[in-house]
Amino acid sequence: MNNLLLRALSCTNDQRPPVWFMRQAGRFLPEYRALRQKHSLWELFHTPELAAEATLQPLKTLGVDAAILFSDILVIAEIFGYELRFENKPELYPPKTEVRKDVRETLSYVNKTIELLKDISVPLIGFCGGPYTVAKYMKAPFLLQQITDASIEYLQMQIDAGIQAVQIFDSWGMENPEVSLPYLKQIVDAIDVPVIVFSRGSCRFVKEFVDLKPDCISFDWEREMHELRKEVPSHIAVQGNIDPEILKGPHFEGHVVRLLESMQGEKGFIINLGHGVLPETPVAHAVRVVELVKQTSAALRR
Ligand code: CP3
């Protein structure tokens, strides 16, 4: 078992940093696009065998150090009777009357996906959306506490099924930190496996994220990682923070090497992007980042 990710999350990693990419299973991979030719997004999310296949694709193609469950932060809306449709962007259709379904029963297909992935060679990351971000897509801010409760139960189900770490994607939370942070805090406090918190704009709210007491904070690219590291206590890991536009473009290599050099010897550092991989990113660039992490770290230690 490659457990670099789990070691980095506990800030005890004395080897090279682990690397994975947000949205690593997705449209930038030709084999994912092939799967999408045959199946709708709804089918991929709801069919455990297909979701497991999509989860595995980036492991084979990129050689990353972690898998992330293939699903979407919006499936939780099904608990409240919303119908989820994906055209070019996700659309949620509210129910006519108030509905509250059982989390474990309604989302049991996610459970099955996790069970199919129990023998992989890297840690499997489970996830949920931040309640603020999910509520924004549901256009239902009044449901924040209920979304929080359902998310905790959903993560608990994922943990029982075998995931080893959790990331909370609160992409839009920092539009309104006073509203979003207390709900993030409830989730972080309730979960017993390592928790990574992610938000666009996290670089501007370092103290607030530290106060959540997560195991790891995922940063965007607005500030340098080694500067952020100084403001995060050494028992909290940091993740990030390559600009997805830079990864897409021709000059990413120097950028990645500088990031690695500036974080040399860090026991709680995970290489990732500052937000999801852009669909137009050449696969070879992501493959090269993984190679660079492996080579550069070995060279730096010599
Ligand atoms: O990271 C992974 O590889 C795991 C799977 C994953 C998906 N969505 C699959 C997906 C994860 C972790 C998410 C999180 C997610 N979903 C977020 C938070 C992170 C972020 O990017 O801000 C949000 C806001 C969503 C909601 C969502 N789902 C949007 C806005 C879209 C459409 C735009 C887009 O990026 O494609 C989706 C669709 C979606 N979710 C796709 C995938 C692979 C698109 C795939 C396709 O069109 O075939």
Question: Is the minimum distance from the CB of 75 to ligand 1 under 6 angstroms?
Answer: no
Side chain identity at residue 65, one-letter code: D
Token pair in block for residue 188: 């972080």
> Strand, helix or coil at 295?
helix
Beta-bridge partners for 128: 168
Q: Are 114 and 157 in contact (CB under 8 A)?
A: no
Question: Is the minimum distance from the CB of 198 to ligand 1 under 6 angstroms?
Answer: no
Write down the pTM of the prediction.
0.97
Q: Are 204 and 188 in contact (CB under 8 A)?
A: no
pLDDT recorded at residue 87: 80
Question: Is the minimum distance from the CB of 72 to ligand 1 under 6 angstroms?
Answer: yes
Q: 10: which DSSP letter?
A: T
pLDDT recorded at residue 226: 98
Query: pLDDT tens digits, the chain, 302 residues: what are they?
Result: 899 999 999 999 999 999 999 999 999 999 999 999 999 999 999 999 999 999 999 999 999 999 999 999 999 999 999 999 988 789 999 999 999 999 999 999 999 999 999 999 999 999 999 999 999 999 998 899 999 999 999 999 999 999 999 999 999 999 999 999 999 999 999 999 999 999 999 999 999 999 999 999 999 999 999 999 999 999 999 999 999 999 999 999 999 999 999 999 999 999 999 999 999 999 999 999 999 999 987 777 77
- Tokens 């084999």 label which residue? 31
Protein residue closest via CA to atom 6 of ligand 1: 72
What are the φ and ψ backbone dihedral angles of 175, each rounded to 5 degrees? -65, -30
End-to-end CA distance of the chain: 25
72 C-alpha to center of ligand 1: Å?
6
CB burial class (10 A; 0-12, 13-18, 19+) of residue 40? Answer: exposed
Cα(236)–Cα(71) distance, rounded to whole angstroms? 27
> Strand, helix or coil at 299?
helix
Contacts (Cβ under 8 Å, ≥6 apart) of 291:
none
pLDDT recorded at residue 296: 85
